[in-house]
Amino acid sequence: MQVYRACFKVIKQSLPAISIYVGVFLIITLMFTYFGNETTSPDFSKAKINIALFNEDQDFGIAAGLGNYLNENTNIINIPDNQESLQDALFFREVEYIVRIPPGFSQSFLSDQNDIKIEKTSVQDSQSRVYLDFLINRYLNIVNLYADNTSSISDSELLSLVKSDLDQQAGVLMKTYGQMPDNKTAAYYTYLAYAMIAVIFLGTTSIMLVFNDADIKRRNLGSPMKSFNMNMQLFLGNLTFAAAVWLIMVVLSFAVSGGAAFDLNNVLLYVNALCFTVVCLSLSFFTANLITSRDAQQAIANVLSLGLCFLGGVFVSQQLLGKTVNLIASFTPTYWYVKAVNDIEQLLVIKQANISPIINSMLIQLGFSAALLTVALAISKQKRVRS
């Protein structure tokens, strides 16, 4: 196993450069994991939207009841009642909805005249607009139902019945399998792509640069060792190095995930990282057949690690990238690795419909690996023929 041992002697000489990338990765991970991500809970909670409410019909019960109902379900912000202040509040998203109940609305509504309507202003085509319209219509529909089907009922009794109906809430139970990976674990595996590309690239290309040197290659051809045996040992050396990098990175993640290290969600993250390790190894082997100097190796390592990570959504969330950028990024394995991490982070219920997108992302990564390896072998064979 002389060639196999020689691979690790070469890697030992590259440890200073590899250590730099690992150190940068750990610093970035610590910064973003512990200071750049808020801890979220999978529990359900009702959202409250900031609104401005101007009730000019306070003497009547229906308007007052609507004001109380909105106060319970939204955040009412005090804003001066003038056009400039209201427009600025909407523009800067200080509020997303403005409700004005005009004088005489309650009496008009109860008499079925409907000639006086609530004035509503909102951010155009926003979700908050639909939600607030639903709240207001829900309240008025219940009031109208009681007003049409009860006789000789006072305003206080009417509002009491309406409030009783509106207080009925449906319970929401979020079922999960095991423990969902928190933001820290997901952030760790997102930024792991940067370290994996750089470290595996530097180690693999360092080995290949040595064995692809013209003088060393001629000397090896004159040795009694068969070419197949030599190539297999070289392959096992690269594979062992890549597996060791993956194992070390997974073990380091235990410090982030803690007691949930072996939950199914985290195991999926480990498998996804293993698929990406194979991609990095294939990419490194492909590139090693194209470069001939150490200077080019360092330059390409920086371009590949930073370029693929920025484009694939490692440093900038895929949700913040435009459709065109995401479309272009989908032709890179990093995009599918990060997409799988994001899907695993959001995985609450383990079933086929939820697991399938994650498995597809992993298979696409392996597809990239197979394509890169095929091209790399073709280039390598062409070079041997020319030699």
What confidence tens digit (pLDDT) does each residue in 86-117 have? 888 888 888 888 888 888 888 887 777 667 78
Let me know if residue 171 belongs to a domain.
no
* Contact yes or no for 233/265 (Cβ under 8 A): no
Does any domain span residue 240?
yes
Please state the rounded mean pLDDT for residues 13-26: 75
Strands 50-55 and 75-76: parallel
Question: Based on the domain organization, do 88 and 195 belong to the same domain?
Answer: no
Are residue 77 and residue 21 in the same domain, yes or no? Answer: no
**How high is the pLDDT of residue 362?**
92
Residue 56 buriedness (CB in 10 A; 0-12 / 13-18 / 19+)? middle
164-185 average pLDDT score: 64
Residue 172 lies in a domain: no
- Using CA atoms, how far apart are residues 201 and 112, in angstroms rounded to an integer? 75
Average pLDDT over the chain reads 80
Which pLDDT belongs to residue 40? 47
C-alpha to C-alpha distance for 381 and 387, rounded to whole angstroms: 10
Query: What's the whole-model pTM score?
Result: 0.62
278 and 334 within one domain: yes
Predicted confidence (pLDDT) at residue 188 exceeds the cutoff of 60: yes
CATH number at residue 152: 3.40.1710.10
Q: Residue 171 pLDDT > 70, yes or no?
A: no
User: Are residues 295 and 335 located together in one domain of the fold?
Assistant: yes
Of 106, 137, 166, which residue sits at a domain end?
A: 166
User: Over pLDDT 90: what percentage of the chain?
Assistant: 8
Burial (CB < 10 A; 0-12, 13-18, 19+), residue 186, is buried
% of the chain residues with pLDDT over 70? 83
Contact 378/350 with Cβ under 8 angstroms?
Answer: no
Residues 17 and 108 in one domain: no
My answer on whether 35 and 141 are in the same domain is no
Say whether both 16 and 67 belong to one domain. no
Q: Within this chain, do residues 190 and 338 fall inside the same structural domain, yes or no?
A: yes
Domain boundary among 166, 196, 214: 166
User: For the chain, what is the domain count?
Assistant: 2
CA torsion, points 160, 165, 169, 170, in degrees to nearest 10? 170
Domain boundary among 134, 166, 198: 166
Please write the tens of the pLDDT for every residue from 257-314: 766 667 788 888 999 999 999 999 888 888 887 877 777 877 888 888 888 888 888 8
| Residue 178: band (very low, low, confident or very high) from pLDDT cuts 50, 70, 90 | very low
User: Does 345 reside within a domain?
Assistant: yes
Same domain, residue pair 371 and 295:
yes
